[in-house]
Amino acid sequence: MNTLAIVVSLALLMYFAYRGVTVLLLAPIMGAVAVLLSGDGALLLPIYTSTFMTALSGYVLQFLPIFLLGSLFGQLMADSGAANTLARWIVRTVGERRAIVSVVLACALLTYGGVSLFVVAFALYPVAVSLFKAAEVPKRLIPGTIALGAFTFTMTALPGTPSIQNAIPIPYFGTNAFAAPGLGLIAALCMFTGGLWWLQRRAAQAKAAGEGYGQHEDEAGEAAQADGHAAQGRWSVMPVPLAVLPLLLVVGINAVLTYVVFPQADFAFIGERFPDVDPQKVLGLWSLIVALALACLTLVVMRLGRWANLKETVNKGVFGFMLPLFNTASEVGYGAIIASLAGFAIIRDAVLNVSPGNPLISEAIAMNILAGITGSSSGGLSIALQTLGADYLRMANEAGISPELLHRVAVMAAGGMDTLPHCGAIITLLAICKLNHRQSYRDIATVTILFPLPSLALVILLGTLFGSF
C-alpha cells in the first residue's frame, strides 16, 4: 500500500503539472496525498513542518545565490543589448541563409555564458523569426532549434557551464562545474551534430514539399513588440568584444578559481568558526557565485550612463529568480516526503539494484525517471540527489568510480526525459513562439530526448571503460 501511495502521488503530480498547476501548490498537496494514502495521516502536519519545509529551506539556503545571480545576469545581458548584439554577430558570421545553425549557435553561446534559458528564448525568438522567414524555413522548427541550443548540451554536458543543473551535484559529490570535461565535450558534440542533422533534414524535407515559413496571423503584433524592446534599450548597439566579455568572465573566473586559486588556498581557518562546513563540498559553488557576481558588476559598470532604466532591470532580474528557485525547492520538499515513507525503501532498493556493479546505470535511470515525472531537470535531479545521492557516492567509491563521472552522468541524465510534454520549459517555449505541441513537439522531443539519451549511454560506456577524463 505504501508503494502504491507513492505511485499514485507521482502520477497525479505529472498529470496536474501537465495541466499547468503550479508546483508551488502541487508539491505539498501531492506529498500530503502520498502521506494520507500510506496510512500516516496522523503525522501529516509534523511531516509537513519537519520534512517538507526542512528540505525546502535547506535547498533555498544552498542554491539561492546561484539562482539570484543567474537571473540577474541574464536580465543585465538582455537589457544592456549584449545578448542581441551577440546573436546578430553570430548571424552575420554564419550567414543569414543558415538560419538553423545561426540560432543554435547564438542560443548555445548565451546559455553557456550564463544567460538563463527563458531569457535566451525571449531574446532569440524575434531574431529566429526574421532568419527563418528570409531562409524560407518553416516556423514550426523554431522551438526545436532554440531547444537544441539552450536546453541540451550547454545545459548538461559542456564543462564549466554555469547552469543550475550543473551546480546541483556539487555539494553532494564534492565536485565542480568542470567535472569530467573530456566526456562532457564528447557528449556535447554528439548532441549538437545529431540535433543539427535532424533539424536540417526536416527543413530540407519541408523545402522539397514546397513548404515555406508559412502564414501566421498571430505575428501581427511582433513588429510593435520589437519596437518596444528597442525603446527599452534591449536591442541597443554594443561592440561585440564588450558583449562577449561578461560571458568570458563567467567561465574564465570560474575556471581560475576552480583550478588555480582554491586548490592552493588553506581553508583550515574556516573550521574554527564553521565546524560543520566542508570546503571541498562547496568550493564549486563558491567559484560560480564569485564568477557570476563579478560578471554582473562588470556589465553594470561597463554600461553606466547607457542603461534605459538600471533600477528596473536589476529589480526584474532579482525578482525573476524567485519562482524558479521555489518551484525547484518545493519539488525537493516533495521528494523528501516521499523518501520518508516506508514504501520508498522498496523503490530505492529496486533502483539501486538495477546494476549493483555499475551505479552509473542506476543513477542514469533514476535521474531520467524523476526528471520525466516532475517535468523539470533541476527538480528531478534535486529530488534524486536528496534521496539517493549519498547511496550513489558510496557505491561509486566502492566500485572505484570517480565522483566527477558520477556528477556528469547525473546532470546529463536529468536533461534526458525532462522535456516530456508536461515540462514547464517546453510549454513556455511554445507559448513564446506562438505554436502548439502538435506543430512542434516532435522536433523538440527529438533534439532534447532522442539524441541526448544515446550521448548519455556513450558517456557511461566510455567512463566505465576508461574512467573520468
Q: Taken in order 77, 288, 419, 423, is the CA torsion positive or negative? A: negative
- Model confidence at 159, pLDDT cuts 50, 70, 90, reads very high
With 90 as the cut, is the pLDDT of residue 126 above it?
no
Burial classification of residue 469, based on how many CB atoms lie within 10 Å of its CB (0-12 exposed, 13-18 middle, 19 or more buried) = middle
Q: Give residue-wise pLDDT tens across range 104-116.
A: 999 999 999 888 7
State pLDDT tens for residues 395-412.
Answer: 999 999 999 999 999 999
What per-residue confidence (pLDDT) applies to 445?
A: 95
Task: Identify whether the C-beta of residue 332 lies closer than 8 Å to the C-beta of residue 389.
Answer: no
Please say if the pLDDT value at position 221 is more than 80. no
pLDDT band at 468 (very low <50, low <70, confident <90, very high): very high
* pLDDT at 237 (0 to 100): 65
CB 261 within 8 A of CB 273: no
Residue 125 confidence (pLDDT) above 50: yes
| C-alpha to C-alpha distance for 406 and 173, rounded to whole angstroms | 8
pLDDT (average), residues 312-323:
89
- Residues 331 and 376: beta-carbon distance below 8 Å: yes
The per-residue pLDDT of the chain, averaged, comes to 89
Full residue range of the structural domain in which residue 354 is found: 1-466
- The set of cell numbers assigned to 87 is 546573436
Which pLDDT score is estimated for 460? 97
Given a cut of 90, is residue 385 above it in pLDDT? yes
Q: What is the pTM of this model?
A: 0.84
Q: What are phi and psi of 355, to 5 degrees?
A: -145, 80
Which residues have CB under 8 Å from 35's CB, separation 6+?
5, 41, 43, 44, 47, 337, 341
CA torsion angle 300 305 311 314 (round to 10):
-20
Identify the pLDDT of residue 226: 44
Tell whether the model's pLDDT for residue 466 goes beyond 90.
yes
Q: Are 123 and 94 in contact (CB under 8 A)?
A: no
Structural domains counted in the chain = 1
Least confident span in 96-110, 208-222, 227-241, 242-256? 227-241
The pLDDT-based confidence of 1 (bands split at 50, 70, 90) is: low
The amino acid that residue 406 corresponds to is: L
Q: Looking at the predicted structure, is the pLDDT value of residue 224 above 50?
A: no
Looking at residue 436, what is its pLDDT?
87
Amino acid, res. 110: L
- Residue 375 — pLDDT band, cuts 50, 70, 90? confident
Amino acid at 153: F
- The confidence score (pLDDT) of residue 230 equals 42
**Could you count the other beta carbons within 10 Å of the beta carbon of residue 290?**
18
pLDDT of residue 16: 84
CA atoms of 256 and 237, how far apart (whole Å): 31
The pLDDT of 283-303, averaged and rounded, is 93
